[in-house]
Amino acid sequence: MLSGNLRRRLHHGDLDGRRNEHVDTSGTDGLNEPLLGTYSYDERHTKEYGDKRQQDIWDDKKKEQLHWAQLFCNLVAQWGQWLANIFHNSGSILGRMLPPIIFSGQDNLPLLLSPLQEERLRNLKQRLGIPFDSACVDHQDALRQLWRLAYPGRQVPPLKSELWKEMGWQGSDPSTDFRGGGFVSLENLIFFAKTYPDSFQGLLHKRDGRRAEWEYPFAVAGINISFMLVQMLELELAGRPSSKAGICFIKLLGEDEMAFDNLYCVAFQMMDAQWLAKRASYMEFNEVLKATRTQLERELSLDDVFSIRDLPAYNMLTR
């Protein structure tokens, strides 16, 4: 129990007519320990303000250092691009010996491309922007060419026929299956059939491994692979790719104008290998495609990959 009494002193204010009550605790015992530490309010306030001010100064210095570092990096990148353009445009021996200068898209630094890479990337994006047009004679002829490559010696059926289902189109009219794949997905299939005919025929007829009772449709799977590659490499974006896979692909594009088509063939063969390893069935196709993308991204990021032929999975292809 407290030894003293809590005394109240009431004062009447004559200025505003209100009663002010003040509590005098000077006579209380047992409240001797400081509740807010050993500092008085003024001492604490002064120290806290000083600490905050010091932190603000350090933050300002860090921001200034970061600003100058970014300016310096951008300046170096611009000089690198300028020198690269001089060497490559001059056609000198040194220009041909120097590798393309590419910077990561991280930290807002530009991805620098050689003139050759710029041209090939632009041409590839133009291809990707062409939709499949069933009324276009060239596109119709391309479908017929694919049939002749897939089934040599057989008569080409009409463009609307149940026979197209044998190749793995979902309906009797292949043009309805392209959707977001575009004309490039048909070009990819034709390139695959012409460049690696043995692998193409093996996948078309499901020759290797223990096959599922409900297999993936070959042609439609090919369209999905084209679409997957475009997304993985960020080729649908207006700017330049910033992902690791996209940047690695740009380097390969500098070495091989048909890098996208060759990578497509690798991806198709890799997808089938994943399919067999997982003993997958039709409903698991998307899962297999995701696993294929992951493996492709991993192989593209390897340090010793300088062309599509350097990819480990390339060895699965046969001509």
Segments making up each domain of the chain, as ranges: 114-316
Record the tokens describing residue 127, joined without a space: 């291809």
Mean pLDDT of 241-247: 92
Q: How confident is the model at residue 7 (pLDDT cuts 50, 70, 90)?
A: very low
Distance CA 14, CA 96 (A): 96
Mean pLDDT of 92-121: 62
For β-strands 19-24 and 7-12, DSSP reports them as antiparallel
Look at residue 35 in the predicted model and tell me its pLDDT. 32
CB 245 within 8 A of CB 257: no
Residue 86 host element (H or E): helix 41-90
Q: Which of 310, 226, 241, 307 is nearest to 271 (CA)?
A: 226
Look at residue 64 in the predicted model and tell me its pLDDT. 56
- Four-CA torsion 31, 33, 37, 43, nearest 10 degrees: 70
CB 228 within 8 A of CB 267: yes
Q: Is the pLDDT of residue 15 over 60?
A: no
CB 93 within 8 A of CB 147: no
Mean pLDDT of 203-209: 96
Identify the three-state secondary structure at position 117: helix
Look at residue 242 in the predicted model and tell me its pLDDT. 87
CB 27 within 8 A of CB 42: no
* Segments of the chain assigned E as strands: 7-12, 19-24
Locus of tokens 């040599």 = 152
Record the tokens describing residue 96, joined without a space: 């041909």
Q: Is the pLDDT of residue 301 over 90?
A: yes
Q: Is the pLDDT of residue 77 over 70?
A: no
Q: What are phi and psi of 11, to 5 degrees?
A: -120, 135
Residue pLDDT, tens place only, 35-76? 323 334 344 444 444 455 555 555 555 555 554 554 555 555
Q: Is the pLDDT of residue 14 over 80?
A: no
Look at residue 65 in the predicted model and tell me its pLDDT. 56
Look at residue 240 in the predicted model and tell me its pLDDT. 85
Task: Write out the DSSP string of 150-164.
Answer: HSTTSPPPPSS-GGG
Distance CA 170, CA 178 (A): 11
Q: Which of 294, 308, 234 is nearest to 264 (CA)?
A: 308
Q: How confident is the model at residue 310 (pLDDT cuts 50, 70, 90)?
A: very high
Least confident of 98-112, 117-131, 135-149: 98-112
Look at residue 79 in the predicted model and tell me its pLDDT. 62
CB 100 within 8 A of CB 117: yes
Residues 6+ apart with CB under 8 A from 220: 168, 169, 170, 177
Q: Is the pLDDT of residue 80 over 50?
A: yes
Look at residue 26 in the predicted model and tell me its pLDDT. 39
Least confident of 28-32, 63-67, 179-183, 273-277: 28-32
Q: Is the pTM above the cut of 0.95?
A: no
Distance CA 109, CA 70 (A): 8
CB 200 within 8 A of CB 316: no
Residue pLDDT, tens place only, 125-157? 999 999 999 999 999 999 999 999 999 999 999
* Segments of 69-218 assigned E as strands: none
Look at residue 60 in the predicted model and tell me its pLDDT. 57
On the CB side of 277, CA atoms within 13 Å amount to 11
Distance CA 86, CA 107 (A): 26
Q: Is the pLDDT of residue 159 over 90?
A: yes
Residue pLDDT, tens place only, 165-205? 999 999 999 999 998 789 999 999 999 999 999 999 999 99
Mean pLDDT of 99-118: 62
Record the tokens describing residue 268, joined without a space: 């198709």
